[in-house]
Structure 1
Amino acid sequence: MNTICNNCKSNKIVTGVRITDLGEVNVKNDLSLEIYKNPDALFFKGTTRYKLKAKVCCSCGTVETYIDNPEELWRTYQNNKNS
């Protein structure tokens, strides 16, 4: 992962920051991307979630989001597209 800020070119980068939201009774939930598996199937439908993480520049405050497994997301998307 690139540890140089795309905005100011600083190397003061913090990676792996959790992005959360407070749910019922203040339970923390990780924000995530969700994609359907087998969206056209009658049975065995489901979703796959990918937790969002952040990379923060401590010089200019720029925040970038990312997921740890983008290739898996791409494969799931391609499988859905081709079914």
Structure 2
Amino acid sequence: MNEIKCKICGSIKIIKNTTITDFSHGNIEKNLSIYIQKTDNAFFNKSVKGEIQAQICGDCGNMDLKVRNPKELWEAYLKSKN
């Protein structure tokens, strides 16, 4: 099994794949996400969503962020540049 180590302190006490949640108006929970717009068409605009995940060190508190679908986001980004 591959152990993940903290990039700062080297600890193996890593809390994996947690979500970052915002409690918005009315205390409604919403996980933080990245959105990349695929087109600039005003009527049929499409975007790709990538939910943000965090890994947190249980010793020093360092937090690393990543998204679940980086390849899909990259493809959407490339399409948005055309």
Structure 1 and Structure 2 fold alike (TM over 0.5): yes
* Separation of aligned partners in 2, 1:2 and 1:63: 16
Q: Which structure 1 segments of 5+ residues have no match? A: none
Sequence identity (%): 32
- Give 4+ residue runs of structure 1 displaced > 3 Å after superposition: none
TM-score using structure 2 length: 0.86
Q: Partner letter of residue 66 of structure 1?
A: K
Q: Are residues 1:4 and 2:2 paired? A: no
CA RMSD of superposed structures (Å): 1.7
* Separation of aligned partners in 2, 1:72 and 1:46: 13
- State the 1:9 CA deviation: 1.2
TM-score using structure 1 length: 0.86
Q: Partner letter of residue 37 of structure 2?
A: Y
Q: Which structure 2 segments of 5+ residues have no match? A: none
Q: Are residues 1:28 and 2:29 paired? A: yes
| Cα 1:2/1:53, change in 2 over 3 Å | farther
